Amino acid sequence: MDDPRERFTDLYDRHYRSVLGYALLRAEHGVAEDVASEAFLIAWRRLDEVPDPPLPWLLGVARNLLAKQRDSRHRGKALVDRIAALTTPRDQVDWDVADHVVDREHALAALARLPERDVEAMALATWHGLPPDQAAAVMGCSTRTYNVRLHRARRRLEKALRAEPGAARPYTGAVGHPFLEEA
């Protein structure tokens, strides 16, 4: 594709929803739309530098834009709020958190206690479906470092879930919750 407009239009059509979804997990709707738009503005300006595959690069740009907008503590709280807001009644029918790990509130409380970097490592692997090398590019680290972070994040989540009062059963790794599935 030689025409820059066609290339950008294809890039936008294929990846805007993923970039917006990534931003929605971390920011209010209006802020997320601004971040996604700005990420594509940067992509347009640097179109010749956009690597293949472009999604990890775009998510990395969105991540950097979000980091400029708020401090770490605020980001952690906002992410947990987004996860709660994204759960729909259909989700509760398809996978009931209480049937798999603990009730919904305990799972969200366990996630809230994790560092944002842990939640992000798990989200990139499970919600965004990125392979380790692409997730590592988004987080700005090596693939090996990302794999270690993901492993440690899952163990910390397991520990947090086991520490929750009223836990129905310990985490076994065979559940339907997207953060808890093994990659």
> What does the pLDDT look like over 102-121, one tens digit per residue?
466 777 788 888 898 999 99
Tell me how far apart the alpha carbons of residues 118 and 98 are, in angstroms, rounded to a whole number: 22
- Say if residue 120 is exposed, middle or buried (CB neighbours under 10 Å; 0-12, 13-18, 19+): buried
Q: Is residue 79 part of a domain?
A: yes
Tell me how far apart the alpha carbons of residues 181 and 176 are, in angstroms, rounded to a whole number: 7
Residues 62 and 101 in one domain: no
List, in sequence order, the alpha helices (H) in 87-140. Answer: 89-94, 97-100, 104-113, 116-126, 132-139
Q: Is residue 169 part of a domain?
A: no
Q: Is residue 34 part of a domain?
A: yes
Q: Is residue 38 part of a domain?
A: yes
Residues 83 and 31 in one domain: no
Tens of pLDDT, residues 44-90: 999 999 999 999 999 999 999 988 876 544 656 766 777 767 766 66
Residues 111 and 141 in one domain: yes
Residues 89 and 57 in one domain: no
Q: What is the mean pLDDT of residues 125-129?
A: 86
Q: Is residue 174 part of a domain?
A: no
Give the pLDDT confidence score for residue 127 in this predicted structure.
83
Residues 81 and 62 in one domain: no
Q: Is residue 175 part of a domain?
A: no
Tell me how far apart the alpha carbons of residues 143 and 120 are, in angstroms, rounded to a whole number: 15
The model carries a pTM of 0.50
Give the pLDDT confidence score for residue 40 in this predicted structure.
96
- Output the average pLDDT for the chain: 80
CB environment 32-52: b (16+ within 10 A), e (fewer) = beebbeebbebbeeeeeebee
pLDDT higher at 164 or 171:
164
Q: What is the mean pLDDT of residues 13-40?
A: 93
Q: Is residue 100 part of a domain?
A: yes
Residue 93 banded pLDDT, cuts 50, 70, 90: low
Residues 34 and 94 in one domain: no
Tell me how far apart the alpha carbons of residues 174 and 168 are, in angstroms, rounded to a whole number: 15
Q: Is residue 54 part of a domain?
A: yes
In terms of residue numbers, what domain contains 54?
Answer: 4-69
- Say if residue 113 is exposed, middle or buried (CB neighbours under 10 Å; 0-12, 13-18, 19+): middle
Nearest to 23 by CA among 74, 71, 73, 78: 78
Which CATH number characterizes residue 132's domain?
1.10.10.10
Tell me how far apart the alpha carbons of residues 32 and 44 are, in angstroms, rounded to a whole number: 18
Query: Maximum Cα–Cα distance for the chain, whole Å?
Result: 60
Residues 31 and 97 in one domain: no
Residues 53 and 128 in one domain: no
Residues 44 and 85 in one domain: no
